[in-house]
Amino acid sequence: MTAVEDRSTEAPEREIGKARRRKEDARLITGRTTWTDNMVLPGMLHLSVVRSPVAHAKIASIDVSAAQQSPGVVAVYTGRDLAEEQGSIPCAWPVTPDMVNPGHPSVAVEEVNHVGEAVAVIVARSKVAAADAIELVDVDYDLLPPVLDMEEAVAEGAQLTHDHLESNTSYHFVFDAGEAGTGADTDQAFADADVVVSRRFVNQRLIPAFMEPRSVVVQPQGDNFTMWSATQIPHVLRVMLAMVTGVPEHKLRIIAPDVGGGFGGKLQVNPEEVIALLVARRLGKPVKWTETRSESLMTAHHGRDQIQYVDIASDREGNVKALRVRLLADMGAYLRLITPGVPALGAFMFPAIYKFPAYRFECDGVFTNKVPTDAYRGAGRPEATFAIERAMDELAVELGMDALELRRKNWIRAEEFPFTTVAGLEYDSGDYETATQQALELIGYDELREEQRRRRESNDPVQLGIGFSTFTEMCGLAPSRVLGSLSYGAGGWESASIRMLPTGKVEVVTGSTPHGQGHETAWSQLVADSLGVPFEDVEVLHGDTSVAPKGMDTYGSRSLVVGGTAVVKAADKVIAKARKVAAHLLEASEDDLEFENGRFSVRGTPGTGMGIQEIALAVFAAHNYPEDVEPSIDAEATFDPVNFSFPHGTHICAMEVDTETGMVKIRKYASVDDVGTIVNPLIVEGQMHGGLAQGIAQALYEEAVYDADGNLTTGTFVDYLVPSAADLPHFDTGNTVHPAPGNPIGAKGVGEAGCIASTPAVVNAALDAVRHLGVRDIRMPLTPERVWRALYEGGDGGDRATAGTNAYGGASTETTAGVSTDASSLGGDR
């Protein structure tokens, strides 16, 4: 039983809702696509980057003479050589007026502030020649103690990450609902509350770990430059590179060819992109840089990394009264594109789906001698969701209530939408109860609870737990005026244009640049329905600033919601223009024309009519068209949403915990998500799966670990555990559909949902399995070691890297950095 074949209708089938197989696949399953690293240009030179092996030091001297003599080496540049022209990696999100930004040179000039920071660039005839010369560059470092622990970093008298700054705090961001007029006085609400639960959660540092390593190619042509880059944001990159390097924007063309995943990790202006442009400009030759995986894990931006102090207040009956959140958010050593904005974006999502009368949020952005953090799938919202969904479970335990019952008591009811939250957001639509009911059925809840009871009563060494996450997120980034009010440096609109070709084929140009999401397929479905043309007749163009000159690119689950809407609005304009031409050619009044299934016909006159594809030919010939219009039915549109969209869902995880070994295993995972209208169910399901995998990976596997000297000890895929097929369960996913009222498609966004929702469901499930054994918390990722420690030693399982463990690389190599700190000599942990 397939939907597609069984639904026979007279009219052409609607494309929206159809499980179209992807247009993109043909080139990807045959190995015939263009990744940036595939580019080969005549005379191309290759770059390699000499990187700091220490976390914090002054650069005393750099001797590049031996490298310059190395066979095949054309040039070697240090930070000092590039200092006049490299500017600073831009930060587009000054979240507070007094935010401190230390500046971020692409190549370090005087000091290095994290392991892996670029200190010199080698240009050579071949990739191997460039790589071979790296070890010939001799750098003398005057070592400084590294700042690695956020709680120590904000303490009085702490060591400084940047010694020219007064402290390690970049900014202090506050949202107070009482002050904003969206809620009651938080302190008073806590003072009046019957029950207050306070917790400290660690949302560990993660690495986006896109599969395609970053790569950039620059070709100079006179005073013009073409850059190919494995980036999510060719349009943003073009503006930023122009501002940073002084290469005029109109002399710079950026192309993102097929890009192998990003997950926020390629939402960046990378030092290496600046370097490649500067070197190509200096030498007048095409250059290429492609990173190794180790470089990628060590130097591409990381994500998450917050310490969260959460206080939640309620009455005895479980009605929540107030929420207070204080964050320490690790910026790393520098501020990159939206580093400071990530926790600020999350600020508004901690109240989640619950009707808190009072809310206060405070966040310190903290510098440490680690690679900068920035966007990673969800960017602020997974952290918020984790904290609130964990806190709701903690409150339920304190009250002796069922975790789901507590949620139900406090969540926004279906009839209350649109609902303005205590954080001032207007949630658009949804039904949390229905999604929850469906998820309970999907997972077989009652049976699992029964099994849990049996295992508890029999003291089974393998205990079973069930965890919930009833989440929402804000998507469709973003209303430009709201971004402005949050001090973001750009807007959140999206652009599209439609070109009607003489043969009736259609070119759709989108400013939303995909990197695996399937825009070419989904946009074709949108346009096929709007214009009534065959799906196959639509070609979607993107990712090249010369072809698609305007755009804000792909992140924040925005593409369909904002970019897709721009496409639909452009199609509306095409139809409006074509209507005038059709009226002229059919010798009818525009008012008498109806447009259906791609044809204009005169109302009440069967058999007459003209297809929009024929009109495209007619205006190409332009022999006969109305006098007051241009001979074209092409159109473009820019869409700026008025509000965010708010997907939601209920995720339930059933987890087995082996109490003898600490091994955890997901027994079943079910989710029911409302992402609004579904344009392509296949793509939506795929996005859910991928998001779930990454959210589960945060709970169970992934953590960027630094040793006491500031070395990343998870710098390869041997140590940084991106899960394999064998590490993940089967997902049972479903949907409810409440169309988003804020856009004509009704879509809410799906790219981040699984990643945002799943993490707390998994941790809550593990805790539900062992809470009766006295375990109150287990730090992520839930390694067997941590789970075992939490069971047998108490506490939350502690840091992953402690002296003597493999994860703690510094214990046996305390002198790698040449400095012995208190922590390193004692085998302290991070």
Partner 1 sequence: MTRINVRVDGVTYDDDVEPRTLLVHYLREQLGKVGTVVGCDTSNCGACTVHLDGAAVKSCTVLAVQADDGEVTTIEGLAQDGSLHPMQKAFHEMHGLQCGFCTPGMIMASVDLLRENPDPSETEVREGIEGNLCRCTGYQNIVRAVQQAAGEMRGGARAPSGDGHVSPAEVDTAAAPHVAGAQS
Q: Which stretch binds partner 1 (CB under 8 A): 237-245, 454-462, 536-544, 712-720?
A: 712-720
- Number of alpha carbons in the 13 Å side-chain half-sphere of residue 600: 26
536: amino acid identity, one letter = E
Query: In whole angstroms, how close is the CB of 820 to partner 1 at the nearest point?
Result: 29
Q: Which of 457, 607, 725, 804 binds partner 1 (CB under 8 A)?
A: 725
Count CB atoms within 10 A of the CB of residue 248: 11
476 vs 645: CA distance, rounded Å: 6
Query: In whole angstroms, how close is the CB of 742 to partner 1 at the nearest point?
Result: 15
Q: Which of 62, 133, 150, 209 binds partner 1 (CB under 8 A)?
A: 209
Residue 813 in tokens: 């190599």
CB 558 within 8 A of CB 477: yes
CB 780 within 8 A of CB 705: no
Q: Which stretch binds partner 1 (CB under 8 A): 102-110, 260-268, 332-340, 778-786?
A: 260-268
Query: In whole angstroms, how close is the CB of 449 to partner 1 at the nearest point?
Result: 23
Q: What is the separation, in whole angstroms, between the first and last Cα of the chain?
A: 54
Residue with tokens 């209303």: 479
Output 259 or 406, the one with its CB closest to partner 1: 259
CB 382 within 8 A of CB 698: yes
Residue 432 in tokens: 């949390």
Output 610 or 761, the one with its CB closest to partner 1: 761
Q: Which of 234, 308, 248, 208 is nearest to 36 (CA)?
A: 234
For residues 4-23, which are near partner 1 according to CB under 8 A?
4, 6-7, 14, 16-19, 21-22
44 vs 118: CA distance, rounded Å: 22
407: amino acid identity, one letter = R
634 vs 124: CA distance, rounded Å: 47
- Strand 426-427 and strand 419-420: the pairing is antiparallel
Q: Is 232 in the site for partner 1 (CB under 8 A)?
A: no
705 vs 692: CA distance, rounded Å: 22
Dihedral-angle region of residue 620 (phi above 0 means left; psi in -120 to 50 means alpha; beta otherwise): alpha
Query: In whole angstroms, how close is the CB of 746 to partner 1 at the nearest point?
Result: 7
Q: Which of 183, 220, 516, 556 binds partner 1 (CB under 8 A)?
A: 516
For residues 686-705, which are near partner 1 according to CB under 8 A?
686-687, 689-694
Q: Which DSSP string do the residues of 154-204 spell out, in sequence order?
A: TSTT---SSTTSS-SEEEEEEEEHHHHTSSB-HHHHHHH-SEEEEEEEEEE
For residues 736-755, which are near partner 1 according to CB under 8 A?
737-739, 746, 754
Query: In whole angstroms, how close is the CB of 213 to partner 1 at the nearest point?
Result: 7
Residue with tokens 């005026």: 481
Q: Which of 31, 97, 157, 606 binds partner 1 (CB under 8 A)?
A: 31
Kindly state the DSSP code that residue 553 receives in the 8-state scheme. Answer: -
Query: In whole angstroms, how close is the CB of 806 to partner 1 at the nearest point?
Result: 15
Output 421 or 521, the one with its CB closest to partner 1: 521
Q: Which of 211, 576, 621, 622 binds partner 1 (CB under 8 A)?
A: 211
Output 208 or 465, the one with its CB closest to partner 1: 208
Q: Is 717 in the site for partner 1 (CB under 8 A)?
A: yes
Q: Which of 12, 35, 74, 803 binds partner 1 (CB under 8 A)?
A: 35
Q: Is 728 in the site for partner 1 (CB under 8 A)?
A: yes
Residue with tokens 């068209």: 625
Q: Is 28 in the site for partner 1 (CB under 8 A)?
A: yes
Cα 199 from chain centroid?
26
648: amino acid identity, one letter = H
Q: Is 815 in the site for partner 1 (CB under 8 A)?
A: no
CB 755 within 8 A of CB 695: yes
Q: Is 444 in the site for partner 1 (CB under 8 A)?
A: no
Output 489 or 681, the one with its CB closest to partner 1: 681
Site string for partner 1, 80-119 (x = CB under 8 A): ----------------------------------------
Q: Which of 451, 539, 727, 785 binds partner 1 (CB under 8 A)?
A: 727
How far CA 248 is from CA of 243, 604, 687, in Å, comes to 8, 57, 38
Q: Is 283 in the site for partner 1 (CB under 8 A)?
A: no
CB 768 within 8 A of CB 465: yes
Q: Which of 58, 125, 282, 293 binds partner 1 (CB under 8 A)?
A: 293
Output 211 or 629, the one with its CB closest to partner 1: 211
Residue 358 in tokens: 């009072």
377 vs 692: CA distance, rounded Å: 11
* Cis status of the peptide bond prior to 723, with omega within 30 of 0: no
- Residue count, binding to partner 1 (CB under 8 A): 80
Output 21 or 481, the one with its CB closest to partner 1: 21
Q: Is 568 in the site for partner 1 (CB under 8 A)?
A: no
Q: Which stretch binds partner 1 (CB under 8 A): 410-418, 659-667, 671-679, 778-786?
A: 671-679
For residues 753-782, which are near partner 1 according to CB under 8 A?
754
Query: In whole angstroms, how close is the CB of 305 to partner 1 at the nearest point?
Result: 19
Q: Which stretch binds partner 1 (CB under 8 A): 47-55, 510-518, 625-633, 763-771?
A: 510-518
Output 309 or 535, the one with its CB closest to partner 1: 535
Site string for partner 1, 114-143 (x = CB under 8 A): -------------xx---------------
CB 263 within 8 A of CB 206: no
Cα 177 from chain centroid?
27
Site string for partner 1, 239-258 (x = CB under 8 A): -------------------x
Output 24 or 111, the one with its CB closest to partner 1: 24
Q: Which of 604, 724, 793, 804 binds partner 1 (CB under 8 A)?
A: 724
Output 641 or 751, the one with its CB closest to partner 1: 751
Q: Which of 96, 294, 434, 661 binds partner 1 (CB under 8 A)?
A: 294
Kindly state the DSSP code that residue 411 receives in the 8-state scheme. Answer: B
Q: Is 518 in the site for partner 1 (CB under 8 A)?
A: yes
Output 459 or 725, the one with its CB closest to partner 1: 725
Query: In whole angstroms, how close is the CB of 824 to partner 1 at the nearest point?
Result: 26
Q: Is 42 in the site for partner 1 (CB under 8 A)?
A: no
Query: In whole angstroms, how close is the CB of 18 to partner 1 at the nearest point?
Result: 6
Query: In whole angstroms, how close is the CB of 94 to partner 1 at the nearest point?
Result: 31
Output 170 or 694, the one with its CB closest to partner 1: 694
Q: Which of 8, 11, 29, 591 binds partner 1 (CB under 8 A)?
A: 29
Output 257 or 340, the one with its CB closest to partner 1: 257
Q: For residue 324, what is the enclosing H or E element?
A: strand 320-332
Please calculate the CA angle 296-300-306 and round it to the nearest 5 degrees.
125
CB 687 within 8 A of CB 751: yes
365 vs 162: CA distance, rounded Å: 14
Please calculate the CA angle 678-260-760 and round it to the nearest 5 degrees.
60
Query: In whole angstroms, how close is the CB of 559 to partner 1 at the nearest point?
Result: 13
Q: Which of 268, 420, 399 is nearest to 338 (CA)?
A: 268
Q: Is 289 in the site for partner 1 (CB under 8 A)?
A: no
Q: Is 639 helix (H, G, I), strand (E, B) or coil?
A: strand
Output 17 or 489, the one with its CB closest to partner 1: 17
- Number of alpha carbons in the 13 Å side-chain half-sphere of residue 66: 10
797 vs 790: CA distance, rounded Å: 5
The angle that helices 445-457 and 432-443 make with each other, rounded to 10 degrees, is 60
Q: Is 524 helix (H, G, I), strand (E, B) or coil?
A: helix
Q: Is 359 in the site for partner 1 (CB under 8 A)?
A: no
For residues 586-645, which are near partner 1 according to CB under 8 A?
none
